[in-house]
Structure 1
Amino acid sequence: MSTSDTAPLWSLTAAELVAGYRTGAFSPTAVMDAVFDRLDAVNPGLNAVIAVDREGATLAALDSTLRWENGAPLSVLDGVPISIKDNLYLAGLPATWGSRLHRDFVPDHDEPAVARLRAAGALLFGKTNVPEFTVQGYTGNLVFGTTFNPHARGMTPGGSTGGGAAAVAAGIGPLAIGTDAGGSIRRPAAHCGLFALKPSIGHVTRYDGFPQLLADFEVVGAIGRSAADLDSVREVLETFDPADPRTLATAAPARPFPAEPRIAFMPAIGANPVDPRIAAASRRIAAALAETGARVETIEAPFDADRVTAAWTAIMQAGLAWHLSKFEGWQALVNPSARALAEQGAARTAGELLDALAAAAEVRSAAGLFFRDYDLLLCPATAALAWPADTIFPPEIDGREVGPRGHAVFTGWMNVTGLPAVTVPVAMTDAQGGIGLQLVAGHGRDRDLLDFLATSPALRPFAPASLANPD
């Protein structure tokens, strides 16, 4: 079934679906059937969705159809198919975290963010693939194998929300819910030509699931094809939860940006290399924003990148070591890279962890002062284009050797500081996927950030993001 303009139902954005439900042009039942047909057609070649609840999603779609027929939808996401990352609890489907240690685990409850989506009438149809323990920038594991970028044959969709990004880019649901601890939502969105939101710390409640290895650096966010769709997710998930006092941050009032916002443009971080095509796209968008009235100033990084990376790495390694220490014989079950990270974490001292927490606190204070002088920060979402899917990270960028986080230098600061950040898809390459830029705002300005993304004349042309055709 298709809309009157012949667009397949699986190809519509969440906003377009809701508009169709409202007018009676089609139903959530028809849409869910179309998304399942699309999944069956393209997922075997992508390996994006690794578990499916056909019966549950079909019944939920029928309930949603009846609500729309009665003019009583539960929310702006009622009847919208949404996939869930495999490190989040979705009752009745496996939650493996990409690891053989958890391959047989099936939670009997939704964790809070997922529960809110279900209560809002969203159709939670499946789980998406991740790297083991979601601590790396590609998507592959020993349980389900490798996920591929639908825009770039044989290339990675990035990670760790690579399965979710690949699903949305291929039309397997218009939205994917994931987590972002160091860029895990924003970079896959960039590689797959999509929009993404990493919320401020405290804007989406997080507990009652897998342990948070990176403490409050990791937040629940979304990948979609427009700022409007991301804002619908924000509207549902952004709420106070008495079980999570961090969510008091949701009480922050909206403060729209001025007509001529002050934008700090950070095209590079020190001497770290950036792919020339990404650098050129960054300069082009900075110029376009200036032409539409923004006051754009090119800056150096407003933080010590080495210190931020060291703090992030210390917390991640220690968190992974702590989790794995609970499992006898874990060394033989996890992949070599996860084992190496955990062994490095086990060697960390209490002093190193306290140094990391102190660095995070100082960086957060400095970020607050930075956003007294600027409204927004613009920078690339990734330093590298997509690389071969079975490779954990690209060993070179622009002809220069880089380490495991060389491609990810632009994203970790936002996690350590807790700032909201969005990815905007601004270009697509022939063979290495998309190019995405980041916009970052002061803490708590999630709604303002999405409003700017939706209304800026320089950015509006990029929505809705185009779908891939991996058939």
Structure 2
Amino acid sequence: MKHIETHQLWQLSAGELAAAYRAGMATPDTVLQAVLDRCEDVNPRINAVVTLDHPGAREAADASTHRWRAGEAFGPLDGVPVTVKDNILVKGLRATWGSKLYADFVPEIDEEPVARLRAAGAVILGKTNVPEFTLHGYTDNALFGPTGNPFNPALTPGGSSGGAVAAVAAGIGPLALCTDGGGSIRRPAAHTGLVGFKPSRGTVPRANGFPAILHDFEVAGPVARNVGDIILAMNAIGGKSWRQSDSGFAKTPLRIHYARTFSGAPVDADIAKAADDIAAELARQGHSVDRADSFDLAAPIADVWPVISQTGLAWLLSQHKDADEKINLMLADMARNGRAYSAADYLNALDIIKHVDRDVEGLFDECDLLLTPATAAMPWPATQSHPTTIAGQTVGPRGHAVFTPFANALGLPAISLPCASWPQDMPVGFQLCAARGQDAALLAFARDYEARTAWQTRWPAL
């Protein structure tokens, strides 16, 4: 059987690797070496992977190679290299959460999604960089420094899954396990030309991890280069509700509500045009696309989101006597704000979210999908926490992130997909959201869209 050239192996998707293993054209141990060589070559320029597990990865790849040769592979992810975001615990591997508070923490147990990946035979490469406590939309911290966007390392890949998307976009493994607490999967995926999926609340079981500072609004999910690989990952890490999720929408064409912006927030002109083009393409494919120049249902979420994040951080830091000496100034300010909120403020925020949830349920009675841009801003300098202006208007720290937190607050499935055309040679993405529990249906639609468009992986010139 003809083997694939070693220098090409790091470019293969998870699905392509499974096919190559099955056909005897490649083995997990040779693939791992190709990915490690790629990491050694490009990681110094982007700082995506902060902890590598050479011995553990080699042991797992060797075991997978034996299983494939014996015809006993665990499934399509057996032998596939995967990186894990540094706020997710991997047994025996340093987990820092991007903070000096956890600089030397080595967990003794895998967090549940990691355990599920191991059970599927995946090869855990190592940990990817995050902002401190994964509470910012860029990726930099005092332990490891900034992560650069592979398409322009001077710019950010976004956050908080910036290291994860930079790794996948650069060819350091075809899959990354991440978290999304307010868009932390979807926005970075959009900034790097990838697919990022935020499952419905509870779809991916979580246990044995860091303390939850974003209530149950943060979920674990995958990043990949195509929708098929996202589905393979979900088949491994998804729980009972994933297996019971609807596999497709009952009717076609679908009713798609296109929100060009939320509550009049500014959107970069190139992003707005790319999203308009997506809406036109979906209409061309036969779907009913209802365009709204603004969308106000999510506005209350934006107003209360700081209550959730800042009180959560304040609670976490209250458990560390030396916190003020070790965390960055922006987070110290957030924690001070969080301590000023009362229990009544927190419960009021939850109540407001509940009311928005009812309104959005009504929206999905009238449409099947909500289409939005994935982010309001193009990537900005890698060491800068956020863009200060968008489309000529001054914005605050969350101005770039207006389109994503509502899906977390309401527990909705949402996916970021790359647009076919990229302005300024930098990736742009769009977001699709569905009603809660429609995870498999949303992914089936995304895979169909992918198959109907002239979409192919683009590699950065690193």
Specify the TM-score bucket, using the shorter chain as the normaliser: over 0.9
2:31 and 2:288 map into 1 onto residues whose CA distance is: 43
2:322 and 2:209 map into 1 onto residues whose CA distance is: 23
Deviation at 1:372, TM superposition (A): 1.4
Deviation at 1:253, TM superposition (A): 3.7
- Report the counterpart of residue 44 of structure 2 in structure 1: 44
1:453 and 1:7 map into 2 onto residues whose CA distance is: 30
Residues 202 and 343 (structure 1), Cα distance of their counterparts in 2 relative to 1, 3 Å cut: same
Query: Which residue identity is paired with 1:312?
Result: W
**TM-score w.r.t. structure 1 length?**
0.95
Residues 181 and 457 (structure 1), Cα distance of their counterparts in 2 relative to 1, 3 Å cut: closer
- Report the counterpart of residue 181 of structure 1 in structure 2: 181
CA contact (8 A) 2:245 2:439 kept: no
- Report the counterpart of residue 85 of structure 2 in structure 1: 85
CA contact (8 A) 2:324 2:332 kept: yes
Deviation at 1:365, TM superposition (A): 2.1
Q: Is residue 372 of structure 2 the alignment partner of residue 376 of structure 1? A: no
- Report the counterpart of residue 461 of structure 2 in structure 1: 469
1:198-213 map, 5 Å: 198-213=198-213
1:318-467 map, 5 Å: 318-426=311-419, 427-430=421-424, 433-456=426-449, 460-462=453-455, 464-467=456-459
Deviation at 1:258, TM superposition (A): 2.3
Query: Which residue identity is paired with 1:344?
Result: N
2:12 and 2:316 map into 1 onto residues whose CA distance is: 40
- Report the counterpart of residue 99 of structure 1 in structure 2: 99
Structure 2: segments with no counterpart, 5+ residues: none
Query: Which residue identity is paired with 2:209?
Result: G
Question: What is the RMSD of the two structures over their aligned residues, measured on CA atoms?
Answer: 1.6
Residues 267 and 30 (structure 1), Cα distance of their counterparts in 2 relative to 1, 3 Å cut: same
Deviation at 1:249, TM superposition (A): 6.8
Deviation at 1:133, TM superposition (A): 0.2
2:248 and 2:44 map into 1 onto residues whose CA distance is: 45
Give a deviation string over 1:213-233, Cα, whole Å, max 9, x none: 111110001110000000001
CA contact (8 A) 1:414 1:421 kept: yes
Deviation at 1:211, TM superposition (A): 0.9
CA contact (8 A) 1:425 1:465 kept: no
Deviation at 1:109, TM superposition (A): 0.8
Residues 301 and 361 (structure 1), Cα distance of their counterparts in 2 relative to 1, 3 Å cut: farther
1:122 and 1:461 map into 2 onto residues whose CA distance is: 30
1:395 and 1:459 map into 2 onto residues whose CA distance is: 37
Percent identity over paired residues: 45
CA contact (8 A) 1:302 1:370 kept: no
CA contact (8 A) 1:454 1:460 kept: no
- Report the counterpart of residue 25 of structure 1 in structure 2: 25
Residues 303 and 461 (structure 1), Cα distance of their counterparts in 2 relative to 1, 3 Å cut: same
Structure 1: segments with no counterpart, 5+ residues: 241-247
**SS of 2:37's equivalent?**
helix
Deviation at 1:460, TM superposition (A): 3.7
1:437 and 1:418 map into 2 onto residues whose CA distance is: 19
1:333 and 1:459 map into 2 onto residues whose CA distance is: 50
Residues 33 and 257 (structure 1), Cα distance of their counterparts in 2 relative to 1, 3 Å cut: farther
Deviation at 1:301, TM superposition (A): 5.1
CA contact (8 A) 1:28 1:80 kept: yes
- Report the counterpart of residue 270 of structure 2 in structure 1: 277
**SS of 2:136's equivalent?**
coil
CA contact (8 A) 2:194 2:418 kept: yes
**SS of 1:141's equivalent?**
coil
CA contact (8 A) 2:300 2:353 kept: no
Give a deviation string over 1:194-248, Cα, whole Å, max 9, x none: 11100000100112110111111100011100000000011111113xxxxxxx5
2:295 and 2:393 map into 1 onto residues whose CA distance is: 24
Query: Which residue identity is paired with 1:118?
Result: R
Residues 302 and 273 (structure 1), Cα distance of their counterparts in 2 relative to 1, 3 Å cut: closer
